[in-house]
Copies of this chain bind each other. A is one copy, B any other.
Amino acid sequence: MTNNESSLNLSSSVDLNEAVAKVCRQAKQAAAIMAVASTMVKNEILRELSRLIANHREAILEANNLDVTEAEKNGLSRSMLARLTLTRTIIDEMLEGLEEVAELPDPVGVLEEKTTRPNGLEVARMRVPLGVIGFIYESRPNVTVDAAALCLKSGNAVVLKGGKEAIHSNQYLAKLIAQALHSQNLPPAAVSLLPFTERRATQFLLRQDKYLDVIIPRGGESLIRFTAENATVPVLKHYKGVCHIYIDKGADLNMAASICRNAKTQKPSACNALETILIHRDEAAAALALLNTSLDDVEIRGCELTRLHIPRAVPAREEDYAAEFLDMIVAVKIVKDMEEALQHIAAYSSNHTESIITRDQERAERFLAAADSSVVLVNASTRFNDGWQLGLGSEIGISTSKLHAFGPMGLKELTARKFVVHGEGQVRL
């Protein structure tokens, strides 16, 4: 398709818009076929793709090398380059990922909530694919395969819009995905890589509500905000994770220190990493003494009371409490009780992840109910907000808004439920 499209005069917005619409229209046609594909066929595509990737390992790395070389020339940041670079290990993980998705139960066609109405109608809800998913992401080329696998397994078609820095890698992988679909006589348009990399193409994609059922953006805050502001297609999004841990009066402080260390330092760049610790004032002295040690390699930005107990702490400014540091930095604040902690969370929360460390059952339940975030935990690390950790078996993203999905999204979250009804001639009275 790339050849045909590039012969168009794409400097014309009308032409580019029509070219984007065409990709989406073909994806929608493919979606109707994918929706009724059997589990066996869908799994065979995933396994054929796995074989193709394994057999073309070197060519994938070569294509990726083109991207990396160009990116270095263009002076991409080190972290961007790291995300862009494919390695043999990452390719192995792609293969494992495909096998994992093949082994997940197929949600499509599953019947839930069966009931019989007084008039004898048998009512149930059947899981069906959403239709066509627009998936917008940045540098990591392995996401191309991960996202395609989840969308295929859940019976959806997907239009992928990757970052322009990864175009050679993505095009090579997309070619293999098309081959895998073709091997089962399914339309290659079921997984379409948008062959245009300019921002205008993304803008047009966001407005294809005639063909797309949902857009899932994955990337930095500016990408998500751009998506939300420009889309007429519904968007499943999360902006950022400003995750809190509240250490309650009477909490096991050793547990608190261990959980805070894990939540902050195990992967500081993750959205579910800890950013602010709130401590009940009665535990301030003892808790801070432990945290000062367990977080000895972490910069602490604290309130006045915190700095009294931890001299190395720097003063926390207002914006530190709203910050997603994604770094070895944590904000700390002493509060007079759990209600003040909940108010602080309500004021600064990103509706992502909050945890309470407590021995008090009643306050635990109050915290679980009142903290308005996608995952709320008692005595556990915020790092557990993750599709695999919570038992979904996969994850295509984390939603921090409540419509359709709230929290990690797995295969089920890529489906809807329709009502199916069996009757024997019933009419409405």
- A: residues with CB less than 8 A from B are 32, 35-36, 109, 115, 117, 121, 123, 126, 128, 130-131, 209, 213-214, 228-229, 232, 234, 236, 252, 255, 258-259, 261-263, 266, 346, 364, 368-370, 372-381, 383-385, 389-391, 401-404, 406-408, 416-428
Contact = CB atoms under 8 A, between A and B. Distances in A.
B418 A370 contact: no
Contact of A422 (B35, B379, B381, B422): B379
6 closest pairs, A vs B, by CB?
A380-B423, A262-B427, A402-B416, A383-B428, A404-B404, A377-B421
Given A418-B406, A421-B375, A369 B428 contact: no
Contacts of A426: 379-381, 384
Given A32-B346, A117-B390, A407 B428 contact: no
B123 A402 contact: no
Contact of A117 (B252, B259, B391): B391
A370 B364 CA distance: 46
Given A258-B425, A379-B425, A109 B419 contact: no
B421 A376 contact: yes
Contacts of A255: 425
B378 A418 contact: no
14 contacts: A109-B369, A121-B389, A128-B406, A263-B427, A364-B422, A375-B419, A377-B420, A377-B421, A380-B422, A380-B426, A380-B427, A384-B421, A390-B419, A407-B417
A337 to B, nearest CB: 16
Taken together, the copies of this chain in the complex come to: 2
A426 B364 CA distance: 16
A126 B369 CA distance: 8
A218 to B, nearest CB: 17
Given A126-B368, A369-B36, A416-B406, A266 B428 contact: yes
A207 to B, nearest CB: 11
A213 B403 contact: yes
A403 B381 contact: no
Given A262-B428, A369-B126, A373-B418, A384 B346 contact: no
A163 B17 CA distance: 37
Contacts of A375: 418-421
Contacts of A428: 262, 266, 381, 383-384, 389
Given A391-B123, A419-B374, A423-B378, A403 B402 contact: no
